Each structure stands twice: as structure tokens, then as C-alpha cells.
């Protein structure tokens, strides 16, 4: 794939010099007059349950040439964080708040159970509340066309919580958290605008269909309105079930028969060589079954599971290439800010060797088909833990930022060591578009956004994004980061918090606990965490579990 990147010499842009859907090219040179420019388009692409090292430009053997090209012409962040789980991440991404502030401190409700996680607690209502605004709602005030294709997962049963009721002009996708890729029907079926629709054609595949509709929406906007657009393209790939197309699977079948330990070491060495990890970075302990003790038949099955997983990522990358090609054809690519990230770390659900019936592998059947913790340990190289936890393996995501009109030539293909997290995306979008984040919306006071803009980094300024602590809490797993220090605690039911302290500049894999030697920092950061938890509406997870148990008796 070739990108036709037109560099505008002398172009620079800063937040605060944008007008009503248009922006000014700033006059840095003598006798240069400002030139009116169309406001930037914004495209956010999210993968689902994909680990830190699962794409080529972050060290993977999986073929992702389109993402690799975006990275080669953009900036990769070594230290960007998500929210450890599907729907809390999506709530935080869309609103610029911590997930509890937006109403999704745990999970949203499952289609099969309308009472799930409805705790009558402000931070745990299971859908976006009216104290937040979405990126779509903010950008519509600047004349943007707002479109979404993909997984919603921030409010299911109440139609007022659906995409069109939260600022999007157009929507296609699944409202729930997961679906069969070949036949997403029933409670986990497809929605177009506000109406249920059926999969079209015998060759239906969800990743392709999400892209088809995204491109249709983009082309319609270009032809009919020519307004700047915001597109949120939320793929379900590579979230289970392991549903992949045969031609894609063939590329990988048999490539994983050396097992997870060997592959993890290969990725680790490649990541150091590529500069993703520092040379002194350590590899966390293997957290997998013993490959050599598996029968030949079981080894073949596990090769198949990983091949299916890899094929899902490969197909997603192919589809991202289709979107970029469509933007190139319409002349919109140069003026589009593209952000790619994953919603949490790799998923260890299904046990060491994965879940679901072996006989369903490679078919169009199955729902809870997963590749298991042993392969997830590879996906999260070099970190420990997984989705659900707030160690680096649970919250670290690749972040690729691509924007030809903003990123200087000298910065293209580089890494940033500045750390950021999901609420920064709202702040960045507001800064880039010139929109104003509201104090109130539809008569309701709105919680101030929590993030900071990464726009200076995209302008080539390697400056710290955060000067105050940032926080995580999911299912009682807790963390706070300030500078190079991270305080983290793994939840154990009925036990008091046991904080661990790590210097991430020297120990990104969280192997050397400094809590005993730096008690003053533990005290300072834990106090900051407790103050944040109180203001953000975090409830101790032991209490949440008691409420949950009482509701399901």
C-alpha cells in the first residue's frame, strides 16, 4: 500500500486557532498570511482484546503491513494505557473521563441479563450517564459528521444509550460485547442506525462488514456534505470467538508448532532490536503450560488456535488498508488524524489452553472459542498479567498516531516515551478540532475532562503529558502512576490491599518491587489513589461482589 503524503511546508497548527469547523495554518514565516484550512478529520480505530506485541510494528510475526505503514509515517507510543477491559475502556475513550465517572466502573449489562451490574450506584450503572459527553457530541458542535462502525458495549437495553442517541449521525455494528463473526444474530446481532438487521450474503464476515459500512459512511459524507468527519471504527477482532477466513488461516497454520515459550522469546528479541523495548528490559516469567508435555495432537490444536487468532488480526489489518485506500481516493487522507489502539491487554479467558470445543475450530460455529492464557502470555510480551488486571500486561496498548499535516518529517517513524492514557484522546480531539468541551449539555452539568492533549507530541515536541497522577481500578485491581513510579495492587477477595511499587523507567515488566525500600512513595501515591477513588465514585470491589451476589440469588 502506498500513501500519497503531501507535505505542506511551514505548516503548523495549535489548539485555539480553529474556527467553526475550519482551522488556520499559522503564519510562522515573515509576510506569510494565514490560510484557511478545513478542520482535520478524525479516525479512531480500536482493536479488541489484542496484546501489546501482536502487530508487526510492535514486534509481532503477524503480517500487518498497513498498520506498519501508518507507524512508519506516524508516531508510536511506547507507553500508552487503556482501561484493562472492553467497556470501561470504551467509556473512557468516548468521554475523556475515568470509566466510573461515565457510569461504567465495572461492566455494562449483558444482552441475556438486563439486571447485570445495575447496582444503583452512579459509577456502576452499566451505561453512559448524563454527566458525560461523547467525542461525537462534542464534535457535532463544530459541524462534524459523526459516524461509527463496530462494537458499542457502553449501554445495551435502553435505546437512549445507543450511538445515535449519544451524538453519532450514523451507526452500524453490534451493541453487545461479542458475536459470532460469521453469523451475528439474535441478542448479539447487528444494528443499522437504530434498527436490527441481518447479516447479508453467504460470505458474510463481521470484520469485512464493519469496514464496508465505514467506507460507505465516509464516501457518503465526502459526496454529500464534505464536512470534516469523526469516524469511530471499533473492530471486534481479535476478541473470541476464534472465527477466521480459511485463506487467512493458511498463512499461519503450522507456524506456531515451536510453542509459546520460543515465540515469546523471538518477539522479545525483535522488540529490543526494533527499539520498542530498552536493551536492559527484562522478560517477565513464563505464565504458560509446558509445551513439551503436550501430546502431538494437542500441540497441533494449539497451533491451530494461534493461527486463527493471527488470521483475525491479519484480516483486520487488511481492512484498515481498505479504509486508508478509500481516504486516499477521496483526497481526505492528508488531513486525517488516525489513532489506532487496543481496548485492553491480551485475554487469558478460557484457561491455559483456551476454551470452546476443539471440533468447532476452523468452522463457522462456536462462540466461546479462545486461544488461552499460554498464547496470551506471548501477546503481552514482555509484560505480566492480562485483560482484567492493571499490571502492564492488562493496560498497555500500542498507540499509533498518524497525521501527515501535523507530524513533522523528522518525527515520522519515531517512538514517543511520554506516557498517556485514554482520557487524553478526548483532550487531543478537542485541541485538534477547536471544539469546546462543555460545562453543561442538555441542561445537565458535565464532569470536566480528565485527560491532557498529546497534540504537542504530534507536533514533534517530546514533552511530558502528565504532571499529576493518573489512575486505574477494575474489579478491585488498582494502580496509580506518577512520573516513572507506578503503584499497583492485585485484588484478592477479603484481603486488604497489598501495594507494590515499580520504577517503570528501569523495570517496565514490574519484576522488582520497591515498596519496602520506598515507603514514603507508597504512602504518597496510595493517598493520592484513595482521594481519586473517592471523587471518581469507586466502590470497594468486595462491596460490589456482595451486591452482585444478592441480585443473582
- DSSP-assigned states of every residue in 195-240: EEEPPPSTT--HHHHHHHHHHHHHHHHHHHT---EEEEEE--TTSS
Q: Report whether the peptide linkage leading into residue 241 is cis, meaning its omega lies within 30 degrees of zero.
A: yes
pLDDT tens digits, one per residue of 463-522: 999 999 999 999 999 999 999 999 999 999 989 999 999 999 999 999 999 999 999 999
Catalytic status, residue 86: yes
Q: Report whether the peptide linkage leading into residue 304 is cis, meaning its omega lies within 30 degrees of zero.
A: no
Q: What is the pLDDT of residue 100?
A: 98
Question: Following CA atoms 141, 191, 151, 326 in sequence, which dihedral angle do they give, to the nearest 10 degrees?
Answer: -70
Kindly tell me if the per-residue pLDDT of 26 is higher than 50. no
Q: What is the pLDDT of residue 157?
A: 82
Kindly tell me if the per-residue pLDDT of 21 is higher than 60. no
CA nearest neighbour of 459 among 399, 408, 400: 408
Average pLDDT, the chain: 92
Confidence of residue 376 (pLDDT cuts 50, 70, 90): very high
pLDDT tens digits, one per residue of 173-207: 999 999 999 999 988 999 999 999 999 999 999 99
Q: What is the pLDDT of residue 552?
A: 65
Q: What is the pLDDT of residue 553?
A: 64
Helix (H) or strand (E) holding 432: helix 423-433
- DSSP-assigned states of every residue in 108-138: PPBTTBTTTT--S-GGGSSS--TT---HHHH
Kindly tell me if the per-residue pLDDT of 45 is higher than 60. yes
All three cell numbers of 332, joined, read: 481526505
Kindly tell me if the per-residue pLDDT of 378 is higher than 50. yes
pLDDT tens digits, one per residue of 29-38: 222 232 226 7
Q: Which residue out of 100, 106, 153, 157 is catalytically annotated?
A: 153
Confidence of residue 11 (pLDDT cuts 50, 70, 90): very low
Q: Helices (H) and strands (E) in the chain — how many of each?
A: 14, 20
Q: How far apart are CA 317 and CA 485, in angstroms?
A: 34
Q: Which residue out of 57, 86, 347, 489 is catalytically annotated?
A: 86
Tell me the C-alpha to C-alpha distance, in Å, between residue 271 and each of 46, 130, 238, 404, 505.
22, 43, 21, 26, 16
Instruction: Judge: domain 18-458, CATH 3.40.720.10.
Output: yes
pLDDT tens digits, one per residue of 201-230: 999 999 999 999 999 999 999 999 989 999
All three cell numbers of 124, joined, read: 456502576
Residues 6+ apart with CB under 8 A from 44: 93, 135, 230, 231, 232, 233, 338, 339, 341, 425
Q: Considering only residues 20 and 328, tell me which one the structure prediction assigns the higher pLDDT.
A: 328
pLDDT tens digits, one per residue of 260-281: 999 999 999 999 999 999 999 9
pLDDT tens digits, one per residue of 72-124: 999 999 999 999 999 999 999 999 999 999 999 998 877 777 666 667 899 99
* Prediction pTM value: 0.93
Q: What is the pLDDT of residue 468?
A: 97
Q: What is the pLDDT of residue 550?
A: 80
Q: What is the pLDDT of residue 30?
A: 28
Residues 6+ apart with CB under 8 A from 165: 159
Beta carbons of 269 and 59 less than 8 angstroms apart = no
All three cell numbers of 468, joined, read: 499529576
Would you kindly state where each structural domain of the chain is located, as residue ranges?
Answer: 18-458, 471-551
Q: CATH number of the domain at 471-551, please?
A: 3.30.1120.10
Q: What is the pLDDT of residue 115?
A: 66
Question: Following CA atoms 98, 180, 47, 223 in sequence, which dihedral angle do they give, to the nearest 10 degrees?
Answer: -100
Beta carbons of 510 and 392 less than 8 angstroms apart = yes
All three cell numbers of 549, joined, read: 451476589
Mean pLDDT for 388-401 is: 98
Q: How many residues does the chain have?
A: 553
Q: How far apart are CA 344 and CA 393, in angstroms?
A: 9
Beta carbons of 336 and 403 less than 8 angstroms apart = yes
Kindly tell me if the per-residue pLDDT of 330 is higher than 50. yes
Question: Is 221 buried (19+), middle (13-18) or exposed (0-12) by CB count in 10 A?
Answer: buried
Kindly tell me if the per-residue pLDDT of 284 is higher than 90. yes
CA nearest neighbour of 422 among 92, 189, 99: 92
Q: Give start and end residues of each alpha helix (H) in 346-402.
A: 373-379, 392-395
Catalytic status, residue 100: no
pLDDT tens digits, one per residue of 51-66: 999 999 999 999 999 9
Percent of the chain with pLDDT over 70: 92
**36 phi/psi in degrees, rounded to 5:** -65, 130
Amino acid at each position: 500500500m502506498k500513501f500519497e503524503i503531501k507535505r505542506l511546508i511551514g505548516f503548523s497548527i495549535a489548539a485555539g486557532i480553529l474556527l467553526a469547523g475550519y482551522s488556520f495554518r499559522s503564519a510562522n514565516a515573515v509576510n506569510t498570511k494565514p490560510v484557511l484550512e478545513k478542520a482535520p478529520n478524525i479516525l479512531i480505530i480500536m482493536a479488541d482484546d489484542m496484546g501489546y506485541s501482536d502487530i508487526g510494528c510492535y514486534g509481532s510475526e503477524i503480517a500487518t503491513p498497513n498498520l506498519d505503514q501508518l507507524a512508519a509515517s506516524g508516531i508510536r507510543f511506547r507507553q500508552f494505557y487503556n482501561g484493562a477491559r472492553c467497556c470501561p475502556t470504551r467509556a473512557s475513550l468516548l468521554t475523556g473521563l475515568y470509566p466510573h465517572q461515565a457510569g461504567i466502573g465495572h461492566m455494562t449489562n449483558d444482552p441475556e441479563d438486563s439486571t447485570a451490574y445495575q447496582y444503583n450506584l452512579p459509577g456502576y450503572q452499566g451505561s453512559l450517564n448524563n454527566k458525560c459527553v461523547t467525542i461525537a457530541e462534542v464534535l457535532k458542535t463544530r459541524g462534524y459528521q459523526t459516524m461509527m462502525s463496530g462494537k458499542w458495549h457502553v449501554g445495551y437495553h435502553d435505546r437512549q444509550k445507543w450511538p445515535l442517541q449519544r451524538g453519532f449521525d450514523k451507526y452500524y455494528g453490534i451493541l453487545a460485547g461479542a458475536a459470532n463473526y460469521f453469523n451475528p444474530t439474535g441478542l448479539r446481532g447487528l444494528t443499522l442506525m437504530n434498527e436490527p438487521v441481518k447479516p447479508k450474503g453467504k460470505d458474510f464476515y463481521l470484520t469485512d462488514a464493519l469496514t464496508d459500512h465505514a467506507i460507505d459512511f465516509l464516501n457518503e459524507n465526502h459526496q454529500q456534505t464534505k464536512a470534516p468527519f469523526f469516524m469511530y471504527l471499533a473492530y471486534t477482532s481479535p476478541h473470541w470467538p476464534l472465527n477466521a477466513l480459511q485463506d487467512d488461516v493458511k498463512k499461519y497454520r503450522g507456524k506456531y508448532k515451536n510453542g509459546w515459550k520460543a515465540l515469546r522469546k523471538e518477539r522479545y528479541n525483535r522488540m529490543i532490536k526494533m527499539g520498542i523495548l530498552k536493551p536492559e528490559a527484562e522478560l517477565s516469567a513464563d505464565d504458560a503450560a509446558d509445551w513439551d508435555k503436550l501430546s502431538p495432537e494437542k500441540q497441533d490444536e494449539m497451533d491451530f488456535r494461534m493461527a486463527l487468532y493471527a488470521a483475525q488480526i491479519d484480516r483486520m489489518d487488511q481492512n484498515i488498508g481498505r479504509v486508508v485506500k478509500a481516504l486516499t481516493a477521496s483526497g481526505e487522507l492528508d488531513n486525517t488524524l488516525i489513532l489506532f489502539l487496543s481496548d485492553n491487554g491480551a485475554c487469558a479467558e478460557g484457561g491455559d489452553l483456551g476454551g470452546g470445543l476443539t471440533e468447532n475450530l476452523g468452522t463457522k460455529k462456536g462462540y466461546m472459542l479462545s486461544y488461552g492464557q499460554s498464547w496470551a502470555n506471548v501477546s503481552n510480551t514482555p509484560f505480566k498479567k492480562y485483560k482484567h488486571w492493571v499490571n502492564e500486561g492488562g493496560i498497555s496498548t500500542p498507540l499509533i498516531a498518524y497525521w501527515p499535516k501535523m507530524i513533522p518529517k523528522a518525527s515520522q517513524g519515531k517512538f514517543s516515551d511520554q506516557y498517556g492514557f485514554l482520557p487524553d484522546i478526548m483532550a487531543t480531539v478537542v485541541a485538534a478540532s477547536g471544539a469546546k468541551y462543555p460545562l453543561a449539555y442538555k441542561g445537565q452539568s458535565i464532569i470536566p475532562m480528565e485527560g491532557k492533549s498529546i497534540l504537542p507530541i504530534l507536533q514533534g515536541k517530546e514533552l511530558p503529558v502528565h504532571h499529576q497522577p493518573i489512575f486505574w481500578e477494575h474489579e478491585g485491581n488498582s494502580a496509580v502512576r506518577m512520573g516513572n513510579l507506578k503503584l499497583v495492587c492485585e485484588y484478592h477477595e477479603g484481603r486488604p490491599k497489598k501495594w507494590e511499587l515499580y520504577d517503570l523507567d528501569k523495570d517496565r515488566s514490574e519484576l522488582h518491587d520497591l515498596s519496602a525500600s520506598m515507603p514514603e512513595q507508597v504512602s504518597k501515591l496510595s493517598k493520592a489513589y484513595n482521594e481519586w477513588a473517592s471523587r471518581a465514585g469507586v466502590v470497594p470491589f468486595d462491596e460490589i461482589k456482595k451486591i452482585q451476589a444478592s441480585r443473582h440469588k
